[in-house]
Chain A
Amino acid sequence: MTFNRRTFLGSAALTAGLLAAPMVRAQGKPRVVVVGGGAGGATAARYIAKDSNGEIDVTLVEPTRTYYTCFFSNLYLGGFRTMQSLGHSYGTLAAEYGINVVHDWAVGVDRDAKTVSLAGGASLPYDRLILSPGIDFVDGAVEGWDVSSQNAMPHAYKGGSQTELLKAQIMAMPQGGTYAMVAPPNPFRCPPGPYERISMVAHMLKETNPTAKILIADPKENFSKQGLFEEGWNDNYAGMIERVGPDFGGADVAVDPAAMTLSIDGDVNNVDVCNVIPAMKAGRIAEIAGITDGNWAPVNAADMSSKMDDSIHVLGDAAAQGDMPKSGFAANSQAKVCANAVRGALTGSTVFPARFANTCWSLIDTDDGVKVGATYEATDEKIAKVDGFISQTGESDDVRAATYQESIGWYDGITADMFG
C-alpha cells in the first residue's frame, strides 16, 4: 500500500514537474523588444519571429499604424506613385508571425533593469533590445528653422504627411515661381535622395509650370551619383536648376519661414516653396538610451550590437557602422545579420558570418533610372566596403528603362521582406 501510495505521489510529482517545465520555459522565453517598425526594425522583428519558430517572444513598438516609406516618396512627388501605394500596415507581422505589435512611443530605456518604457505608461522587459528609430534633426542646423517651422518649410524627409504637404505646396506655386531646397551636410539618410527629389520636382514642374526655377543651397562639394544627375538635368531640365555649392556660400544659409525667404551667403531670395532638409542625427530614443557618441550610435559590425551595451543592437540610419550609406536597403541588410546573431545568442542557433549589401536606385525622368551599389563585410573596426558599381553616363534608353523596372521590383521585394 505504502509502496503504491509512494509510487502514486512520486509519479504525480513527476507529472507536475513535466507539466511545469514548459510553463517555466514559456515564462522564461527570451524576449526581444524592437523599437521602430521601419526598414530595419520591421525586418529584424520578422526574421527573428519567422526563424525562431516561437522560441523567442518578439514585441515591436511603433507609434504609427501605417508605415509610409520614404523610399519612392520622391516618385510620388514626380507623379509616378500614389501615396497610398507607399503605405504598409503591420497586420501580417502580428497575425502571421505572432509578433506583438504595440502602437506607442518608446520614451525611456533602463539599461540596468533591461526595460523600455512607453509613452502610454507600460514597461517592457527585454533580453535584447533592437533600436531602429531612424533619424531626427539637429537643433539649430539651419538658421531660422526648427521643427515648429516644418509646416511652412517642410523637410519631407520622414514619410507620409510631410511629403504630401511638400507636394501640395509645389502644385500651388505661381507660374514662374521658385522651389528652393536646403540640402543637408554629410552624413544623412539616403545620399542620392535630395538629388532624386530635384529630378522629380523638375519633372513635375516641366509639365505644370515650365517657367518655374529650382534653387539648391548645398553645403557639400560633391554628392552621390553627381555625374549621372547632372547629365540628366542638362538633358531633360536645361536652364531650370541652379545649385549653389559651398564655394559660393551654399553652406552659409538662413531662412525666414514667415517671410518665405532663403538667404545664401547674405543674399536674400524670395522663394515660393522652401524644402529645408537639416543636418541629421540618430532618432532621439538612441540618445535617451545613452548609447550615442555625437550624433549617432556606434555599433560592432559583426552583429550590430552597440559599442556601449551588448544587450542593445542599433540598425539603419541611427547606427554609426562604417562604410554603408544610410538607406532602406542597408537597414534591411543589417537587420538580417542582427536577427541571425540575436537568435544565436538567445537560442543557440547557428550564427553565420555577417555580410551586407546595398543598392540605391534613383529616377531622373520617365523610364530613366540609375543605380549605385556595393557589398560589405564586417571587420573588427567597422562595416567595410568590398566591391561596388555605379550606372554609367551615356547608357542606352533600354538599359535605363530596365533599371527603372528593376527598382519597381526591388520596392515590391523589400516591402515584402519587411512586412511579410
Chain B
Amino acid sequence: MRAGLLSAAMITIASTAYGDAGGDPKNGERLFNQCSGCHQVGQGAVDRIGPHLNNIFDRAAGTAQGYRYSDSLERAAAGGLTWNYETLNSFVENPRVLVSRTRMSFRGMNDQQDRDDLLAYLRQFSASPENIPEAAPTAAAVDHEVAPEVLAIVGDPAYGEYLSGECTACHQTSGAGDGIPAITNWPNDDFVTAMHAYKVGVRAHPVMQMMAGRLSDEEIAALAAYFESIE
C-alpha cells in the first residue's frame, strides 16, 4: 500500500542518487527476474509464493500481513532479524546462512556486484530510499558463505558426540524443538553453514554466537557429523 505512493519521479531520483554508490538498479531490475517467479515488488504488489518486497529495507523479517512464513523464519524474526543491506546481502547470497529451514528455495546469487545491483533496485521500493544507509563499511569484508573446503571437512562423530554435551542442555537429541530449535538429522552443509553464520556474527543470537565462537572448523564438522547421524 505504501508502494502505491512511490512515483516514477522518485524512482528516477533514487537511481541517479545511488546509481554509482555501489549498485546499478537497472541491472538489478533485470536480476530481479530470478525472484519474480515468487515475489512481487512495486505498485500493487501482493504476496505470491513469497511475500511482497515493498519497503523491505528496515522491515522486520516475517511481517508481511497475512503471509504464512516457515517456523524457521518466524523464529529468526522473533530473535530480532531485520532486513537491511547486510542481512539482505547475506540472505540473497544463500538464504540458509540466516534461516536454515526457510521455505525460500533459491540456491543463491554468488556475485557480490549482482547482489549490490539487485539491492539497489529493491531499495527504490522502500520509503525514503535516500535515508537508507549504504552497506555498512565493514559489511563487504564479511564472508557469509562458508568456503567449499570447510564444508568438505569430514568430521569425527565420536568427537562430535563428546562436544555435543555442550549442546544437549538446550537442544534435545530426541529432535523435540519447542523454544529451542531441533538440530538433529540435518544435512551436513546446512549445519556447518548455520554454525559458521553464528561464529562470524552474521546470525545475531548471543548464546549461539558464544557457543560457536570457540569451535574450530574441525569441531563444527565433528558436531555436524554427529547430529546428522541422529534420527
Contact = CB atoms under 8 A, between A and B. Distances in A.
Contacts of A332: 169
Contacts, number: 95
Contact of B180 (A47, A337, A410): A410
23 contacts: A332-B169, A336-B166, A340-B162, A352-B163, A355-B163, A357-B169, A357-B210, A359-B207, A373-B206, A375-B213, A388-B210, A399-B78, A399-B79, A399-B80, A406-B179, A409-B178, A409-B180, A410-B170, A413-B169, A413-B170, A413-B180, A414-B170, A417-B168
A260 B77 CA distance: 50
A373 B210 contact: yes
A398 to B, nearest CB: 6
Given A396-B80, A413-B172, A407 B166 contact: no
Contacts of A407: 179
Given A333-B165, A352-B163, A359-B170, 8 more contacts: A340-B162, A355-B163, A371-B206, A374-B210, A398-B80, A412-B172, A413-B171, A413-B172
A412 B179 CA distance: 9
Interface in B196-221: 206-207, 209-211, 213-214
Contacts of B169: 329, 332-333, 357, 410, 413-414, 417
Interface residues of A, number: 37
Contact of B176 (A350, A375, A405, A412): A412
B32 interface: no
Contacts of B173: 416
A408 B179 CA distance: 6
A371 B207 contact: yes
A149 B209 CA distance: 46
B106 interface: no
Q: Is the interface of A mostly helix, strand, loop or mixed?
A: helix
A119 interface: no
Size band of the B side of the interface?
20 to 34
Contact of A350 (B80, B158, B166, B214): B158
B159 interface: yes
Nearest to B75: A402
The CB with the most chain B CB atoms within 10 A, among A337, A405, A412, is that of A412
B206 to A, nearest CB: 4
Contacts of A416: 168, 172-174, 176
A39 to B, nearest CB: 10
A387 interface: yes
A347 B166 CA distance: 23
Interface of A: 47, 329, 332-333, 336-337, 340, 350, 352, 355, 357, 359, 371, 373-375, 386-389, 391, 396, 398-399, 401-402, 405-410, 412-414, 416-417
Contacts of B163: 352, 355
A409 to B, nearest CB: 3
A398 B209 CA distance: 19
Nearest to B76: A402
Contacts of B162: 340, 352
Contacts of B166: 333, 336, 355, 357
Contact of A409 (B158, B170, B214): B170
Nearest to B219: A355
B210 A375 contact: yes
Contacts of B213: 375, 387
Contacts of B207: 359, 371, 373, 389, 406
A357 B210 CA distance: 9
B199 to A, nearest CB: 12
A357 B211 contact: yes
